Structure 1
Amino acid sequence: MKGEADHGDPGLFGPESVTWQMHGDPMMWIAGVRALYLQALHPRAVRGVMTNSDFRQDAWGRLLRTADYVGTISYGATAAAERAGSRVRRIHRLLGVDDPHLLLWVHCAEVDSYLDVLRRSGFPLSGAQADRYIAEHRTSARLVGLDPAAVPSDRAALADYFAAIRPELEAGADARAVDGFLRRPPVPAVLVPARELVWRPVAGLAYDSLPPYAHGLYGRPAPPPARVTLRLAAAGAALRCVPPRVRWQLPPGHILKAMARLGPGSRPAPCKLRRRAAILDGPGRAQRSDGGDGTRWRTPG
């Protein structure tokens, strides 16, 4: 049986990876929305989304399918992750959106968003662990059809990539349509209060966490980065008060399935990264980290 065959399979990343610890954090939802805002700034990439997908008709379904994909490749058994990647590559080919240049933009915008939002929200990650996270995601780049050797493998390479691609970015009509949609997505009348109370603050914080140049392209003033970092930290502290076992019950339950497959010791936990950073850095040392927008803070050492 498939479940028996998968028993003990750590998947593509495994419980010792930085990805395993990070992707169980609730701030990944805000990071995912930030990635959408950033990805929309590449005219060719966003045109492909607007032309070939049902983003506006089924935005919630698309967001949930993306979350399911990220959960599958992060925590699923190897065969399940490879099947998910194969489906994505097939869809990209059918829709004609498999240009490596555009796939690399989408990949880098996602990795940068996940890393930037979680670090600024207080997730404990040393500089070396941030580099390791970026390197780990050459695996996810392979799944969508990229050559891992052509994908940034650390923070310096990722920064160089964004500097090189900046001239291609702009907030055209498609980007502004995504911006408007994310700020006020259509919902049934009964859900309008929930949209205003829950969704708009989430989307607003995700937008505010963008790098200053992105705010300039969208044509709105950039809020002070340090103030946004404080808001991200407050949101992270609040969301992390919800017990992980409660959060992880939400469908499709990838983390709980992974723990059932690998045992309770595989539970994602930020404290594991703290311990590893302490071992690597030595007692009393602390890393100074840059969140990609000039904001600097200390992470536990």
Structure 2
Amino acid sequence: MGLRDRIAAELTAALHGGNLELERYAAPPGDPGLFGITPADPLWRVHGQATGMLTGGFAALMLQSLHPLAMAGVDQHSDFRADPVGRLNGTVRFITTTTFGSSPAAREVIGLVRRIHTRVRGTAPDGRPYRADDPDLLTWVHTAEVRSFLAGHQAYAPRPQRLTRAECDTYYRQAAPVAEELGARKVPRTASEVESYLTRMRPRLRATPAALDSVRFLRVFGRTPRERLVVRLLTNASTGLLPDWARTELSIRRPAPVRVCWDRPLATAVGRTLEWGLGPSQIQAAARGRLAGARQC
């Protein structure tokens, strides 16, 4: 097996559990997908760019951890420490299916996540009750996620593929219905609304011991030395996508020159290598084939 094949196999195992499940994206022919996303849309372009999604995904986990109730739910109910790859597979499957998948496949994964959320409830260390299907908590998790994905795209996509200001707003508008299907409410729909929302949320955010522990775990996990190295390089870069106040709260001390002159070039090189190894996305190709059926009907 050559280098490119090894990279593809390892990434497919890490991100998709070894099975792309292409039937989720290829059929039924002509189906427009639950949210009608096409290859020209900002949502497709952001979620289809591997380096931006990897760095943005790590940044999203760090930012989300600053909500004490969201972090309590993860800490008390998730098996991310015992099975981080399994947790990653589930998250990747949800994002790829709701973005590129057919309407039935998207409804299936949304229904699955909604059912899981009904079972995730408890009491945070500060005594407050929480539940994963709380609409306000869902809005936080979604907003932290899409803000990070977009930041990753704008930092690591080739310059011609980056979004204009108007396209950034379109990205947020196109992402919002997924959160609303899960039960979120008052979801920000423009870049300015996202930043205003984060400003309003800041008094409620802090790094709990569980949050700091999860970030430490995130930055060192991996099944092999090579995987741990790649994760460390990408998570180092992902800290540069966080707002300054979030880095401070998480006690991440990476000066701006290090983030710009060291972390970003290394992550760009790693990301381009991974993208080369993956080759053209089979998932996106399957989705394009399904959408092409709509034009033939």
| TM interval, short-chain normalised | 0.7 to 0.9
| Cα distance, 1:232 vs structure 2 | 3.5
The aligned runs of 1:12-27 (5 Å cut-off) are: 12-15=35-38, 16-27=40-51
Distance of aligned partners of 1:33 and 1:139 in 2 relative to their CA distance in 1, 3 Å threshold: same
Q: State which of 125, 144, 148 in structure 2 corresponds to 1:109.
A: 144
1:260 and 2:284 equivalent?
no
Distance of aligned partners of 1:256 and 1:99 in 2 relative to their CA distance in 1, 3 Å threshold: same
2:202 alignment partner AA: R
2:207 alignment partner AA: A
SS class of match (1:6): coil
TM-score (norm 1): 0.77
The aligned runs of 1:231-250 (5 Å cut-off) are: 231-232=263-264, 235-236=267-268, 239-240=271-272, 246-248=278-280
Q: State which of 173, 187, 196 in structure 2 corresponds to 1:151.
A: 187
1:44-85 CA distance string (max 9 Å, x none):
101001111111111111012101110000000112111111
Structure 2, unpaired ranges of 5+ = 1-22, 122-131
Contact persistence 1:117–1:232 (CA under 8 A): no
User: Could you say which residue in structure 1 is the equivalent of 2:243?
Assistant: 211
1:34 and 2:59 equivalent?
yes
The aligned runs of 1:137-286 (5 Å cut-off) are: 137-147=175-185, 150-185=186-221, 187=223, 191=224, 193-224=225-256, 227-228=259-260, 231-232=263-264, 235-236=267-268, 239-240=271-272, 246-248=278-280, 253-263=282-292
User: Could you say which residue in structure 1 is the equivalent of 2:31?
Assistant: 9
| Cα distance, 1:248 vs structure 2 | 4.7
Measured in 2, the distance between the counterparts of 1:2 and 1:38 equals 30
Contact persistence 2:64–2:141 (CA under 8 A): yes
Measured in 2, the distance between the counterparts of 1:208 and 1:22 equals 18
User: Could you say which residue in structure 2 is the equivalent of 1:54?
Assistant: 79
Distance of aligned partners of 1:134 and 1:254 in 2 relative to their CA distance in 1, 3 Å threshold: same
Contact persistence 1:72–1:81 (CA under 8 A): yes
User: Could you say which residue in structure 1 is the equivalent of 2:106?
Assistant: 81
Contact persistence 1:209–1:225 (CA under 8 A): no
Moved more, 204-213 or 130-139: 204-213
SS class of match (1:151): coil
Q: What root-mean-square deviation, in Å, do the aligned CA atoms of Structure 1 and Structure 2 show?
A: 2.9
Q: How many residues align?
A: 257
TM-score (norm 2): 0.78
Measured in 2, the distance between the counterparts of 1:3 and 1:248 equals 15
Contact persistence 1:120–1:229 (CA under 8 A): no
Distance of aligned partners of 1:241 and 1:13 in 2 relative to their CA distance in 1, 3 Å threshold: farther
Give percent identity, aligned residues only: 33
Measured in 2, the distance between the counterparts of 1:136 and 1:232 equals 28
Q: State which of 155, 170, 174 in structure 2 corresponds to 1:132.
A: 170
User: Could you say which residue in structure 2 is the equivalent of 1:287?
Assistant: none
Measured in 1, the distance between the counterparts of 2:264 and 2:293 equals 30
1:64 and 2:89 equivalent?
yes
Measured in 2, the distance between the counterparts of 1:245 and 1:10 equals 29
Contact persistence 2:152–2:241 (CA under 8 A): yes
Distance of aligned partners of 1:170 and 1:3 in 2 relative to their CA distance in 1, 3 Å threshold: closer
Contact persistence 1:40–1:175 (CA under 8 A): yes
Moved more, 151-160 or 229-238: 229-238
Contact persistence 1:119–1:125 (CA under 8 A): yes
